Amino acid sequence: MTSHVDDMRVQLDIEDIPNRWYNIAADLPEPLPPPLNPGTREPIGPEDLKAIFPMNLIAQEVSQDRYIDIPQEVRDAYVLLGRPSPLQRAKRLEAALKTPAKIFFKREDLSPCGSHKPNTAIAQAYFNMKAGTENLTTETGAGQWGSALSLACSIFDLNCTVFMVRISYDQKPYRRYVMETYGAKVFPSPSNETEYGKRLNKESPGHPGSLGVAISEAIETAVHGKNSKYSLGSVANHVMLHQTVIGQEVMKQMRMLDLKPDYMIGCVGGGSNFAGFTFPMIGEKLKGKVDTEFVAVEPTSVPSLTGGKYEYDFGDTAGMTPLFKMYTLGHEFVPSPIHAGGLRYHGMAPTVSLLTKLGVIKPVAFRQKDTFAAGVMFAKAEGIIPAPETNHAIKAAIDLAIQAKEKKEEKIIVFNFSGHGLLDLGGYSNYLSGKMNSSA
């Protein structure tokens, strides 16, 4: 290994991009409850997913193999994302907090879209291209996932159709311009492109839309289109799998520093950045090799892990998907309009849910205002403006660093810096001007 080791920033070389993904299914203490057909409540088989996903991704979704090879074309595309990403030390934040703890953060903000999401978008576009898909459809809230998939489709020459939650389409147009620049077609959802969208627009004109509605529209379009498939940005097993490039790199970087994390922290919407960051290390913990604690951070206003029920529920609002066993607030839950759009999903990845149920993952929830206070402190100390989602992880990291100071312990705190906030400055403006609702 030729990488230069310095604990301010641990860089890896291109050949250090992992050559396989880690599949937590192989190491789970008990099997993942299977998805069910909502009509019969019988487990669905791989065949039942064929209308929406290509067989090669379905095979990954149900795989029990511990490792799955990353094709060379995907590793090449990961270079375009700036992989491997650095692990950076937040020394100025440590100094500001006067903590003996060491705080590290994984730079997933450096991809062209500014988040971790292209790690799976690239893989999904590649496997769809290989399977003969020509059109990919998806949903997006504020546009992080839509821009990641648009980028990936432009790399592998697929058409991309994105249903964007209407209120974001109207109020946050910049990521729409990103998607359109990459060549995607973007519709405000509910749209008049689908039967479901038309019905909603007729029943409630001016419907603001929601992620659940947009998922239903994207699935309807994939099912009825020719050579069309649907692509999901979080929650599914194969999405968690693709994101494990993050955590495998972190493990290598921590080994180079000769340090073991006491805490690994990530924010959770559907669970993918958290899973990608922690699952490789959780695999070690399940084998008794480390005693790292894993902290999943969510908003108090969308508390699926801390306030939801562990039960079977639909993945979308219209009830078109199979039933998944997960922590859920109910598929008809309407979240309050917080700035962390990526954390507003009613459910949680089944793998993250099971590991939370088993006590391996510890969930916490914070109020929006407190997370922005943490984000502003981080920006002033380290110079990077975090995504509102990422602010949740930062808040947890700061709290643990303060706790370490009180106990005079030199803890190693590592969090996933899931994205930057340069297209979410409206949230910062709201916070800085004192207009942010203190109850949410």
Ligand X SMILES: *Cc1c(COP(=O)(O)O)cnc(C)c1O
Q: Residues in the site for ligand X, rule: CB under 6 A?
A: 115, 117, 144, 234, 267-274, 342-343, 387, 389-390, 418-419
User: Least CB distance from residue 235 to ligand X, whole Å?
Assistant: 7
Nearer to ligand X, 25 or 296 (CB): 296
The dihedral of CA 153, 159, 421, 239: what is its sign?
A: negative
User: Least CB distance from residue 269 to ligand X, whole Å?
Assistant: 3
Nearer to ligand X, 219 or 387 (CB): 387
Nearer to ligand X, 200 or 348 (CB): 348
Nearer to ligand X, 297 or 320 (CB): 297
Q: How many CB atoms lie within 10 A of CB 270?
A: 28
Bridge partners, residue 189, by sequence? 165
d(CA 128, CA 134): 8
User: Least CB distance from residue 206 to ligand X, whole Å?
Assistant: 26
Nearer to ligand X, 163 or 274 (CB): 274
Nearer to ligand X, 194 or 280 (CB): 280
Task: Give the 3-state secondary structure of residue 387.
Answer: coil
Query: What does the buried/exposed string (b/e) look like for 128-163 if buried means 16 or more CB atoms within 10 Å of the residue's CB?
Result: bbeeebebbbbbbbbbbbbbbbbbbbbbbebbbbbb
Q: Tokens in use for 22?
A: 């880690």
d(CA 37, CA 368): 36
User: Least CB distance from residue 111 to ligand X, whole Å?
Assistant: 10
User: Least CB distance from residue 6 to ligand X, whole Å?
Assistant: 26
Nearer to ligand X, 179 or 343 (CB): 343
User: Least CB distance from residue 145 to ligand X, whole Å?
Assistant: 6
Dihedral angle at the C-alpha atoms of 394, 399, 400, 403, nearest 10 degrees?
160
Q: Tokens in use for 222?
A: 């994939």
Nearer to ligand X, 115 or 351 (CB): 115
The dihedral of CA 146, 197, 169, 317: what is its sign?
A: negative
* Farthest CA pair distance, the chain: 62
Shortest-Cβ-distance residue relative to ligand X? 419
Report the Cα–Cα distance between both ends of the chain, in Å, rounded: 47
Contact 265, 364 (CB under 8 A): no
d(CA 65, CA 269): 26
d(CA 347, CA 313): 8
Q: What are phi and psi of 174, to 5 degrees?
A: -65, -40
User: Least CB distance from residue 166 to ligand X, whole Å?
Assistant: 19
Bridge partners, residue 413, by sequence? 103, 263
User: Least CB distance from residue 388 to ligand X, whole Å?
Assistant: 8
User: Least CB distance from residue 98 to ligand X, whole Å?
Assistant: 28
Of 150, 141, 159, 214, nearest to 178 (Cα)?
A: 150
d(CA 162, CA 139): 5
Nearer to ligand X, 28 or 343 (CB): 343
Nearer to ligand X, 122 or 256 (CB): 122
User: Least CB distance from residue 349 to ligand X, whole Å?
Assistant: 8
